[in-house]
Amino acid sequence: MRTCFPGAACDAQPATHPCPLEGVAELVLADAAMPRATAMAWLAQADRAGAAVWMPAALLPELSRAGIRPRPLGGTTFYRFQGLRADGGRGLAARLSPLLALLALPAALPLLGLLALRVWLTDGRPVVFAQKRIGYRGRRFTIYKFRTMGHARARRARQVTDAGERLRRHGLDELPQLFNLLAGSMALIGPRPLPIDEHPRGNGLGAWMSTRGRVMPGLTGLYQVCPGRRDLGLAEMCVLDAYWIHNRSPRLNAWILLRTVVAMCRG
């Protein structure tokens, strides 16, 4: 592997031993045809050195789909992943989330009560669905949602109920996660926590998932406001989350919250 230096365009393969990126401020990946696993390996090594990484926009089409504009650099467009912040994954938005949830609770309680009554009257009990998820730094916690799936019957898979479909369409089934915000297990904005049995093992996504685990899981995020997100896979979700983790800012967070409200209203 050749030496990387500030301003250099590195198209070599990342080394298995620690990459000599000390003192590198900006790392440019010039090969738009490199595998995603290679690009993420470079990003992981740059994270350890505190360097920013420029990735070709053609390599990450899901970011354009989400409305993120690339930057021109030398006649080509790139997405810039800033060096990771040293706030321990609990930025200002994460630290304020319990307070914001507490302030929103008086207005949300009547709506929570009405929605719980609707689920109970139409689909019976239990009203709330609880599940173990993987959160900040691999810690396990219980996430709460309104139940939207019918009870499993003999030789029949569970299906989304009529009431559950309406709740999902507007994201109202996630409202009980206000209590996760109060408990400090989730933040207002961040990567969505995955169920334990859906965590990838040995399929090349380990580096992507380790990046997601650096921050608090969120109620909403860049993946949640991406148009047509149901057509995206786990790798694309990790790309969107990684971009937010590296580039999070009050402006980006406000943009995500605004798009979340619009998406909930439009269903």
Mean pLDDT by groups of 10 residues along the chain of 267 residues? 37 50 81 84 83 91 92 89 74 84 92 91 87 88 90 60 82 92 92 81 62 87 87 85 92 93 84
Looking at the fold, whether 68 and 147 belong to one and the same domain comes out as no
Looking at the fold, whether 47 and 107 belong to one and the same domain comes out as no
User: What's phi and psi for 146, nearest 5 deg?
Assistant: -70, 140
Looking at the fold, whether 188 and 208 belong to one and the same domain comes out as yes
Looking at the fold, whether 99 and 169 belong to one and the same domain comes out as yes
Query: What's the confidence (pLDDT) of residue 44?
Result: 82
Would 191 be classed as within a structural domain? yes
Looking at the fold, whether 69 and 165 belong to one and the same domain comes out as no
Query: What total of structural domains would you count in the chain?
Result: 2
What amino acid occupies position 216? M
Would 185 be classed as within a structural domain? yes
Of 30, 64, 82, the last residue of a domain is: 82
**Under the phi-then-psi rule, with left for phi > 0, alpha for psi from -120 to 50, and beta for the rest, what region is 126?**
beta
Would 69 be classed as within a structural domain? yes
Instruction: Check if the beta carbon of residue 59 is closer than 8 Å to that of residue 39.
Output: yes
Looking at the fold, whether 101 and 74 belong to one and the same domain comes out as no
Instruction: Check if the beta carbon of residue 27 is closer than 8 Å to that of residue 53.
Output: yes
Would 62 be classed as within a structural domain? yes
Would 87 be classed as within a structural domain? no
Looking at the fold, whether 118 and 189 belong to one and the same domain comes out as yes
Of 82, 115, 140, the last residue of a domain is: 82
Looking at the fold, whether 103 and 24 belong to one and the same domain comes out as no
Looking at the fold, whether 25 and 144 belong to one and the same domain comes out as no
Helix axes 36-49, 234-247, angle to 10 degrees: 30
3-state class (DSSP) for residue 35: coil
Tell me the two tokens of residue 67: 């409305």
Would 113 be classed as within a structural domain? yes
Would 201 be classed as within a structural domain? yes
Query: What's the confidence (pLDDT) of residue 161?
Result: 79
Buried-state track 49-65, b at ≥16 Cβ within 10 A, e below 16:
bebbbbbbbebbebbeb
Tell me the C-alpha distance between 6 and 8, whole Å: 6
Structural domain containing residue 78: 1-82
CA 227 remoteness from chain centre: 15
Tell me the C-alpha distance between 164 and 217, whole Å: 23
Which DSSP state fits 4? P
Alpha helices in the chain (DSSP H): 36-49, 61-65, 92-123, 162-169, 178-183, 206-212, 234-247, 250-266
Looking at the fold, whether 113 and 220 belong to one and the same domain comes out as yes
Looking at the fold, whether 209 and 252 belong to one and the same domain comes out as yes
Of 62, 82, 102, the last residue of a domain is: 82
